[in-house]
């Protein structure tokens, strides 16, 4: 696989998960799906694999509360890292955050930066801010 881009290597590794359909689940039972990075739909809480606009970026697993304007968690597969939205919104979103919290440590970021990462990818966003 010499010469393959990081995105291509990640896509090969995750291909079985990227093709899965969302499964319905109760919010209180979503943590296992989050930890296994499986798409799901709960009550105003859902997760999916997204492809940043930059085609060189790897797909991201994103957990949302009430829509794509509020990503709660992003899993970045190249660095095997979870990012957490620490901006405050409301009680329901706070509850969603505790229900979907990954079991591994997260890096705290604000909502605006989370949205940029979802749109452009982590490497592109990082370059813009450094």
Residue identified by tokens 């794509």 is: 68
Q: Which residues contact 6 (CB under 8 A, 6 or more apart)?
A: 56, 58, 78
Q: Is the dihedral of CA 124, 109, 40, 93 positive or negative?
A: negative
At residue 1, the pLDDT reads 42
pTM: 0.86
Backbone angles phi, psi at 46, to 5 degrees: -155, 165
Domain boundaries, the chain: 6-129
Distance CA(37)–CA(50), nearest Å, equals 12
pLDDT (tens place) for every residue of the chain, 130 residues total: 445 666 677 767 676 666 778 899 999 999 999 999 999 999 999 999 999 998 889 999 999 999 999 999 999 998 899 999 999 878 888 889 999 999 999 999 999 999 999 999 988 888 777 6
């Amino acid at each position: 696989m010499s010469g393959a881009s990081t995105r291509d290597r990640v896509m090969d590794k995750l291909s079985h998960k990227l093709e899965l359909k969302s499964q319905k689940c109760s919010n209180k039972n979503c943590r296992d799906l989050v930890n296994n990075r499986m798409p799901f739909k709960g009550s105003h809480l859902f997760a999916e694999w997204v492809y940043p606009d930059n085609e060189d970026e790897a797909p991201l697993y994103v957990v949302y509360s009430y829509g794509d304007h509020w990503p709660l968690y992003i899993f970045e597969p190249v660095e095997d890292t979870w990012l957490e939205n620490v901006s405050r919104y409301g009680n329901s979103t706070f509850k969603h955050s505790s229900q979907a919290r990954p079991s591994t440590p997260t890096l705290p970021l604000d909502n605006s930066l989370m949205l940029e990462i979802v749109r452009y990818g982590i490497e592109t966003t990082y370059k813009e801010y450094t």
